[in-house]
């Protein structure tokens, strides 16, 4: 079940949803909370990435500030950003990241694939944004711009804190991929059809 504005407001008041800094009343939408672009981005460096070798994952991105001048996304550009807001929710809730229709109509994607946000019941975490300009426009996006919305869903049962992955605990700014964290790898024996 997706939470609506009255429930979100009630959960903000009782602490089931916690946002730092606190969202203003105008940021609470009928079915979510508006999120805003933080003041730093990570721009990928040009290099070959071997996902089978996490040791070579250092120095993938150049950190840039957009506090004084806007983020410039040329057609085809991809960067990582983060939300100004950091969220923490009760174990029976999960969040989903949604882009804004207005920005989508301009060709701006704010997440490439990972729109479900979990593992944020133990600490506040900013949401990392995967920003991609798929249009022919050059876009300038200022720090603090309302870039998307977080919606909240109630799970069938509360999650066990032991099941939470810790690779992005206390993530309060834009953070690159943690490929050193053990990822599930299917062995060749499972890939061969009998």
> Which residue numbers are catalytic?
130
In this structure, what DSSP letter does residue 37 have? B
* Preceding amide of 12 cis, omega within 30: no
Strands (E), the chain: 17-20, 28-29, 32-36, 40-44, 61-65, 71-73, 78-89, 93-99, 108-109, 116-117, 125-133, 139-141, 146-154
* Matching residue, tokens 């730093």: 40
User: 108 has which bridge partners?
Assistant: 133
């Amino acid at each position: 079940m997706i939470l609506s504005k009255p429930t979100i407001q009630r959960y903000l008041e009782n602490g089931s949803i916690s946002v730092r800094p606190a969202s203003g009343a105008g940021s609470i939408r009928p079915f979510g909370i508006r999120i805003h672009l933080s003041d730093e981005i990570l721009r990928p460096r040009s290099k070959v990435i071997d996902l089978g070798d996490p040791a070579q994952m250092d120095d993938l991105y150049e950190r840039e500030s957009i506090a004084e001048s806007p983020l410039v996304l040329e057609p085809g550009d991809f960067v990582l950003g983060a939300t100004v807001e950091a969220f923490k929710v009760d174990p029976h809730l999960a969040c989903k990241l949604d882009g804004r229709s207005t920005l989508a109509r301009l060709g701006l994607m704010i997440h490439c694939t990972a729109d479900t946000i979990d593992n944020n019941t133990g600490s506040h975490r900013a949401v990392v944004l995967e920003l991609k300009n798929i249009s022919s426009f050059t876009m300038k996006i200022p720090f603090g711009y309302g870039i998307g919305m977080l919606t909240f869903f109630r799970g069938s049962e509360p999650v066990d804190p032991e099941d939470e992955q810790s690779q992005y605990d206390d993530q309060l700014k834009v953070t690159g991929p943690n490929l050193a964290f053990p990822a599930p790898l299917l062995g060749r024996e499972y890939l061969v059809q009998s």
